[in-house]
Chain A
Amino acid sequence: MKVRFEVNGSSVEADVAPRTTLCDCLRHHLGLTGTHAGCEHGVCGACTVTVDGMIARACLTLAVQIEGGDIRTVEGLAPAPGRLSILQEAFKRHHALQCGFCTAGILMSLDHFLRERPKPTEAEIRDLLSGHLCRCTGYTPIIRAALDAADLLANRRRAEKTDA
Chain B
Amino acid sequence: MKLSPVDYEAPGTVAEALDLLAEHQDEASVLAGGQSLIPLLALRLAQPAVLIDINGVAELYGVSAADGWVTVGAMTREYVAEESETVADAVPLLAAALPLIGHEAIRNRGTVGGSLAHADPAAEMPGIAAACDARIEIVGRTGTRKVGAQDFFLGPLTTCLAHDELITAIHFPPWPSARRWAFEEFSQRRGDFAFAGIALYYDERPDGIIENAHVGVIGATHIPRRLGAVEDTLNGRKFVDTVLALAAKTASSSVEPDDDIHASAAYRRALVGTLVERSLIAAANRGRAS
| Beta-carbon contact of A1 and B8 below 8 Å | yes
A131 partner residues in chain B, CB cutoff 8 A: 102-106, 191
User: Among B5, B39, B105, which residue has its beta carbon within 8 angstroms of that of A41?
Assistant: B39
Contact (Cβ within 8 A) A130 B189 = yes
Distance to closest chain B CB from A6 (angstroms)? 18
Cα A79 to Cα B108 in complex, Å, equals 26
Confirm or deny: B141 has a beta carbon within 8 angstroms of a beta carbon on chain A: no
11 examples of A-B residue contacts, CB within 8 angstroms: A17-B5, A18-B6, A19-B6, A19-B41, A41-B38, A60-B34, A60-B38, A62-B8, A65-B31, A109-B104, A130-B191
Q: What is the total number of residues of chain B having a CB less than 8 Å from a CB of chain A? A: 32
In the complex the two chains form, is B42's CB within 8 Å of A41's CB?
A: yes
Whether, in the assembled complex, B1 has its beta carbon less than 8 Å from a beta carbon of chain A, the answer is yes
Contacts of A62 in B (CB 8 A): 8, 31, 34, 38, 51, 53
Decide: A130 and B34 in contact? CB cutoff 8 A. Answer: no
Q: Is the interface of A mostly helix, strand, loop or mixed?
A: mixed
Name A130's contact: one of B53, B103, B108 (CB within 8 Å): B103
**Helix, strand, loop or mixed for chain B's interface?**
loop
Contact B8 A24 (CB under 8 A): no
Q: Taking CB as reference atom, which chain A residue is nearest B109?
A: A56
- Determine how close the nearest CB of chain A comes to the CB of B194; give it in whole angstroms: 13
Contact A18 B109 (CB under 8 A): no
Query: Does A42 lie at the interface of the complex (its beta carbon under 8 Å from any beta carbon of B)?
Result: yes
Q: How many residues of chain A have a CB within 8 Å of chain B?
A: 28
The 8 A CB mask of A23-59 against B (1 = contact, 0 = none) is: 0100000000000000011100100100100111101
Q: In the complex, what residues of A have CB within 8 A of residue B241's CB?
A: none
| Distance of A48 Cα from B108 Cα, bound (Å) | 12
Q: Which residues on the A side are within 8 Å of B2 (C-beta)?
A: 19, 21, 24, 40
Closest CB in chain A relative to B192 CB, distance in Å: 8
In the complex, what's the smallest C-beta–C-beta distance from A146 to chain B, in angstroms? 15
